[in-house]
Structure 1
Amino acid sequence: MYTKRMNATDLSKYLSPIIKASALWKDKVLNVVIIANPAAGGFTRKNIATQHEILLKNKSEIAENKPQLCKDFAIKVYETERAGATAAFVQGFVKEAALCEKTDAEYLIVTAGGDGTSLEVQTALAHIVFDLGGEYSVLIKNKITILRLPFGTGNDGSDGWTLDESLSLLEEKSHFALQKAVRVDCLKGSKLPSFEYSHNDESLSRNPPWYAFNIASIGIDAFITHMTNRTKSRLPGNFYKVWIDLACIFYGLKYKSGIAKIKIFNEDGNIIETLETGIVFCLFGVSGHRTYGSHQKILPDDRNVCLAKKMPLIKKILLKEKFKSGKHIDHKLAFLCSAEKIEIEYDKQILVQMDGEVHLVDKENFPLIFEKTEPVIRIIEKDDAPFYKGAERI
């Protein structure tokens, strides 16, 4: 049926009628940019690309018979090239938007790639808000929306696990919301945290603070993420589940176990819990009801913090399925809670990851702090969304 695989330009043509028909930008002058990773599986894997194109073509044809609700519309495509270039493009896009004198102008950034693509775009926006502030912060929070399409292998940070689910945000009753992020910071000391992310030969942000828009964590899962990144830079496919099994055996050989001292804070800045324990991992989500590692249900309820206590190898192997399926929440070796911030002291080297970006943190870089930011990223949520996921309706 389709003689060639869909590319980013094809995607823009299919999306245009769908976006124009959305009530979200009624009577607005809408400027859209699609930031696409041409190497993402949603473009390169034939079966997935064909499924995406069939779905997009059908939705586009239906939308063409609906009225255009935005006052005016423009769309362009940017294909990612190398780490760092996308952030520079986003900065230029924001500066261009700031120069626009039309009061009814709004902007939509559509990411079509994996979690790494959406991470880089959102990190660039967060840095502008927190580092520059002022009129740029107002612009990003009030006029620039991001729609994260699942074109990668994991897609835990996308607006829906499937493309159909993501596009339904444009078709059904939805609203704008401001999403919080997780800020990760640590001491720089005499030794900076080192760059462990090898996929593009350059880190998104070499020095802290770093940002996550889904889950940040330390421990074995950061090791799994790092090894998955290294593997997929050489071979196509999703190797996360393979490395879950391998990490049970090899992680302890590479990174020696230490004792973590963890302070947990509530919204008022008060310490509500203090833990001192050996850990397999400790993670902090923007909210509860979040997954990582290709939909591993690590935060299956309203709580946004999960810790796995140190355990023998055989226990890791026996319990890994519970952690993957979300059935770990009542196990004695798991600890879950809700928190606004956690502060971690640790006496060994350990890996930290933010939505797939991995760094090696040395013992002199602690304490390591995970905390929620103010609402910063403008997203789209359905009116009947079943769970609170860290975004405030606007």
Structure 2
Amino acid sequence: MLDWRRFERAFERVFASSTLFGDTPMTVDVVVNPYAGRFSSERRAVATLAELDAESASAETASAQTASAADERDTRRRQNVALRFHHTRYVGHAREIARRAISRRDSPAHLIVSAGGDGTHGEVLSAYLDAAESHSLQEDDRSFALMRLPLGTGNDGADAASIAEAVAMLRGAADVHRTGHLVIRPAGMGEFFGFNIASIGLDAYVAELTNRLKRRFGGDLYKVIADIATLFYEQI
């Protein structure tokens, strides 16, 4: 069983000296998908935790080496950061968690960290658009930000290419900026948001099949099944 407290401590170290929003009091909601690609096997999960541990410890050491004139400021930052961790349990749960987190915003600055893969990121970003459309959150509000960690299988939609880069960004080496999205309205199917790519035909079939298989099969078995299934794809 994965030591999630160890995961949380790594984030505590990262945000202890984060300058992401300066000295502004900040709430950080971390939405964790425990079934994401980097957690899909014990070996991957252990390696991911070890990497996160190492990067957060390195960040802590770097902060300590330059802390002589900034001890008071760093202490103030630690006191100004409220960290909350939420674990998803089913498809759509990340969207529900993020929606609640946005609605209960209780600090001048608010960061939601999506700790999962592209599916988790999509749900968290969809919650943001839900809030923007209901006018409970302004789209140009620069005191609110979303961060997508590369903890999935492909990580095409992540904001960082590696855990090391993600840690550096969370410590303050990042700028809050707006990003675009697609709105897809298939006939008779409601509205969907695309934050990375929008697929049709075989590509969409593979993406949908992969997402369904990942929920049923552990490890990389789903990849083999998906590859074989493409041989039986019927073009519409």
TM-score (norm 1): 0.51
User: In structure 1, what is the equivalent of residue 3 of structure 2?
Assistant: 6
User: In structure 2, what is the equivalent of residue 64 of structure 1?
Assistant: 60
Unpaired segments ≥5 residues, structure 1: 194-206, 257-394
1:168-247 matches, within 5 Å, as: 168-171=168-171, 173-187=173-187, 192-193=188-189, 207-208=190-191, 210-238=192-220, 239-240=222-223, 243-244=226-227, 246-247=229-230
Contact 2:33 2:88 in 1 (8 A): yes
Task: Report SS of the residue matched to 2:207.
Answer: helix
Quote the offset at 1:125 in angstroms.
0.8
Rounded to whole Å, the distance in 2 between the matches of 1:59 and 1:73 is 20
Task: Report SS of the residue matched to 1:109.
Answer: strand
Quote the offset at 1:64 in angstroms.
3.0
Higher-strand-fraction structure: 1
Does 2:97 correspond to 1:89?
A: yes
Q: 1:241 to 1:140 in 2, by over 3 A?
A: farther
Residue by residue over 1:269-322, the C-alpha shift from the partner in whole angstroms, topping out at 9 and shown as x without a partner, is xxxxxxxxxxxxxxxxxxxxxxxxxxxxxxxxxxxxxxxxxxxxxxxxxxxxxx
Contact 1:159 1:166 in 2 (8 A): yes
Cα RMSD, aligned residues only: 2.5
Contact 1:12 1:76 in 2 (8 A): no
Quote the offset at 1:232 in angstroms.
2.0
Does 2:117 correspond to 1:114?
A: yes
Higher CA-based Rg: 1
1:123 maps to amino acid:
S
Q: 1:95 to 1:5 in 2, by over 3 A?
A: closer
Of structures 1 and 2, the one scoring higher in RCO (CA 8 A, sep 6+) is 2
1:116-195 matches, within 5 Å, as: 116-130=119-133, 132-133=134-135, 136-138=136-138, 141-171=141-171, 173-187=173-187, 192-193=188-189
Quote the offset at 1:214 in angstroms.
0.5
2:208 maps to amino acid:
H
Which of 38, 63, 71 is equivalent to 2:34?
A: 38
Once structures 1 and 2 are overlaid, which stretch shifts more, 61-70 or 27-36? Answer: 61-70
Rounded to whole Å, the distance in 1 between the matches of 2:224 and 2:165 is 24
Residue by residue over 1:166-193, the C-alpha shift from the partner in whole angstroms, topping out at 9 and shown as x without a partner, is 2232357321111111111244xxxx33
TM-score (norm 2): 0.82
Quote the offset at 1:63 in angstroms.
3.0
User: In structure 2, what is the equivalent of residue 78 of structure 1?
Assistant: 86
User: In structure 1, what is the equivalent of residue 43 of structure 2?
Assistant: 47
Quote the offset at 1:137 in angstroms.
2.8
Instruction: Kindly tell me the number of residue pairs found equivalent between the two proteins.
Output: 223
Contact 2:20 2:172 in 1 (8 A): no
Q: 1:49 to 1:211 in 2, by over 3 A?
A: same
Higher-helix-fraction structure: 2
